[in-house]
Amino acid sequence: MRTTTVQIFGMTYDEVEKTVYEADLPYDLLVHGRQDGTLVCVSGETDVLATVAMLGMNGIVIEQENA
């Protein structure tokens, strides 16, 4: 399985975490980064970039790795 990490722009850590949690997705996404919001990322084993875009977030892929 491939894990993708997307850096999110223009939102705080708390905003991203709330958006992902409230979406109640059928798969897990991990929100991580700095609590001060200077770096917020979302990782998962799905098309993370498309998922965050669907949730109204903007970002770029910063890492992809095979698990």
pLDDT score of 38: 86
Read off the pLDDT of residues 9-65 as tens digits, 9 standing for 90 and up.
999 999 999 999 999 999 999 999 987 778 999 999 999 999 999 999 999 999 999
Can you list the domains of the chain with their CATH numbers? Answer: 2-66 (3.30.70.250)
pLDDT score of 35: 74
pLDDT score of 67: 66
Reduce the DSSP state of residue 34 to 3 states and report it.
coil
Give residues with Cβ within 8 angstroms of 45, minimum separation 6: 1, 2, 3, 4, 27, 67
pLDDT score of 12: 92
